[in-house]
Amino acid sequence: MRVLHLVAADRWTGAAATALQAVEALRQAGVDAHFAFRPGRNLETRLAGLPWAHPILEKERSWASLRRVLFSVRSLMAEFHVVHAHLPHDHLLAWWIRRSLPRRPVLVRSVHHPSHLRPDPYHRLLFAAVAGVGLSHSEMEEKARRLAPKAAIRVLPLALEPRFAPRPDRAQVRAELGIPPEAFVAGTVGKLDPSRGQDLLLLALGAVPNVWGLVVGKGPFLPRLEKLAKKLGIAQRVVFPGYHEEGLERFFNAMDVFVFPEPGSDWAHRAVAEAAACGVPSLAVDVPGIRDLVVPGVTGELWPRGDAAALATLLAQWQQNPELRRKAGEKARERVSGLTPQALSQELLKLYQEASA
């Protein structure tokens, strides 16, 4: 079996990160899996020189660029048994090209965001042609079955890297960040953007004394977050270390609890799973899919979306109970222990076999 994954992205984040990990998991399992993407940013740098990585997609800003993409993708698709699209753009491209191929590959689609399952005519047209659908979380399944009633449907697990695990250098990392070794630290990871809710964490910190905040990421929201921290009088106990893909596990290990205030573009909620693998419980906003990872009162706790006061209450409770944090961290790590590349490749192969049948 030869499998081609398509993702119209150029950055190592969101759907592109999930798609690339799927390809890597398949290749580890002995499958000839390839990856087509947009060049120009860190994704291309990460994949430079790999014969199975094809930087052939682009933003079609002209008829010439559209023809170029259609020709490149059509030439590549003709060589594969399964074509796995990840975003609506990739899906449309694969659907259109597939119609003209003499030997049509099996078309599979991953859904990373709930908005990609809208029951409008455009999405109904796209999903009518798919033989398999991979979902980021279990709460998408009902909508997916309505759009693609004849398709094989599976929830695809995350594949966590082995580096996400408890580490012995917690005190060292805190010292590098200027955080006291005995402090209670609530941290979050993600793009610094108004849609990602880091301001809710700061508002909660403003209501709970002696709790430190660790906000890992970069983005246009940083100046406003720094200004808000000063306004709330908490700037001295909030650290903004910037973006760190390499060594991200060190920051998780510096936290006592992980705060998940809003999902990003990929609703598999990877950061919650990575924190859990490091033995860190999550205080997560209650959105679709999060209960696949967080068991309230066992591996963490949930709070209503947008409710900084509710988050502040949870921070105060978890600050005062180190035994609760220890037990929840152990349970959280145990819950995600099966999220491995091997598990992902097995589920992908089952999906492809069912779709091919």
Q: Hey, which residues does 33 pair with through a beta bridge?
A: 3
Residue 30 pLDDT = 97
Do the Cβ atoms of 37 and 53 come closer than 8 Å?
yes
For 3, 30, 213, 315, 329, the CA distances from 80, given in Å and listed in that order, are 6, 15, 48, 51, 43
| Mean pLDDT score, 249-266 | 96
| Mean pLDDT score, 298-311 | 98
Residue 140 pLDDT = 96
Extents of the domains making up the chain: 2-159+340-356, 170-335
pLDDT for residue 12 is more than 90: no
Domains 2-159+340-356 and 170-335 share a fold: yes
- Sorted by sequence, the CB contacts under 8 Å of residue 202 that are 6+ apart come out as 213, 215, 225, 228, 229, 232, 234, 238
| Mean pLDDT score, 119-147 | 95
Instruction: Give pLDDT tens digits for 127-136.
Output: 999 999 999 9
Tell me which architecture the domain covering 2-159+340-356 has in CATH: 3-Layer(aba) Sandwich (3.40)
Residue 2 pLDDT = 97
For 33, 97, 100, 126, 239, the CA distances from 150, given in Å and listed in that order, are 25, 21, 22, 13, 50
Instruction: Give pLDDT tens digits for 328-339.
Output: 999 999 999 999
pLDDT for residue 138 is more than 90: yes
CA–CA separation, 304 vs 296, rounded Å?
Answer: 13
Instruction: Give pLDDT tens digits for 67-112.
Output: 999 999 999 999 999 999 999 999 999 999 999 999 999 999 999 9
CA–CA separation, 256 vs 280, rounded Å?
Answer: 6
CATH of domain 170-335: 3.40.50.2000
Instruction: Give pLDDT tens digits for 87-98.
Output: 999 999 999 999
Instruction: Give pLDDT tens digits for 338-349.
Output: 999 999 999 999
Rounded to two decimals, the pTM is 0.93
| Mean pLDDT score, 275-297 | 97
Instruction: Give pLDDT tens digits for 208-244.
Output: 999 999 999 999 999 999 999 999 999 999 999 998 8
Share of the chain above pLDDT 70, in %: 100
Q: Average pLDDT of the chain? A: 95
- Residue 278's identity, in one-letter code, is C
Band (pLDDT 50/70/90 cuts) for residue 306 is very high
| Mean pLDDT score, 198-204 | 98
pLDDT for residue 42 is more than 90: no
